[in-house]
Amino acid sequence: MSVTYKQVSISLRSRFWVLVIRLVLKPMMRMLALRSVRSLVREHVRLAAQPPRPGGLPCEYRIIGRVPGPVLGDLGNPDQVALLYLHGGGFVIPAVPSVHLPWMAQLCRALGAVGFMPDYRLAPFHRYPAALDDCERAYRGLLELGFAAHRIVVAGESAGGNLTLGLLQRIRRSGLPMPACAVPISPVTEMARVHAPPARVTNIRRDAMLPLHSFGRMLQLYADGLDGSDPELSPLYADYRGLPPLYFVVGETEILLDDSLLAARQALAAGVDARVDVWPVLPHAFPLFRFMFPEVRQAREDIVAFMREQLARAEPRPAPVPAAVAALA
């Protein structure tokens, strides 16, 4: 496993915004975790109503593989690269068009790719595995449209990072061809325990955005009564054999720091090319907030360079043999 602690000087502008997030957004996150279902619905509508910013790319709401969501670029050319982006939001909050679409647009422009962000079903109305089912359908939908798996890249932040790693397991289990690579950004990889891995506790005061106590509410809404150690819920315990190269991006002060480090270690032990970039000071899922943090440009360039590297290396390869079939061979 290649772990890089980024040696960068964090700007005063970024430090100011980290302080604002700590004083304003973190308390709001605490309150959000305590809201009623009716209040969550109002929040869904409020966030979805924010004006989309597609970064100059054609944008339309489409249905792919029975899953709706915004598409950036031209779906009619399956010879190009396709980015499947899985948004975060604790499995209970939809994508924020004014935040997620500009981020996806930056990646699409840099890669010359078309992008699709599934509007997957949310808890508490649709608990696990509804969101993951939708992500799998979206991936199948891209394949059915003619996009070659080795020209598809998958990425997602926070809960979307969890779904990214869960989707790769689904792809292997179904015998589908793997994408060229995947980029989990600040993923949640442990859903069985609120208090672990260790960074959940050691960074509880350092994390500027995520209140640890809200995790319990997220688990209750998304996976109440289920086995939290199921690898599809907690990719920390997954079998990573046969998965494509992985590039984790996480903040050094995050309570989710070890979620990335330990998952990458598991992947490395299974023979997967797993890399981790650990950024100082910057908060959870910081690459999405380019207007706050000038350092996002470097993080984006690093992510795009990794994707380009893997796309250049990727070749058409046969689909993996599902475990159940292999056992009969």
Transcribe 233-247 into DSSP letters: T-GGG---TTPPPEE
Task: Give the Cα-Cα-Cα angle 188, 193, 198 (nearest 5 degrees).
Answer: 75
Bridge-based pairing state of the strands 113-116 and 67-72: antiparallel
- The Cα 188–Cα 88 span in angstroms is 10
- The Cα 299–Cα 282 span in angstroms is 11
Within a 10 A sphere around the Cβ of 273, how many other Cβ atoms?
A: 17
Q: Which two tokens stand for residue 1?
A: 């496993």
CA-CA-CA-CA torsion for 222, 281, 6, 106, nearest 10 degrees? Answer: 60
User: Known catalytic residues?
Assistant: 158, 254, 284
- Please state the length of the chain: 329
- What SS3 class is residue 89? coil
How many helices (H) and strands (E) in the chain?
11, 9
* Host H or E run for residue 80: none
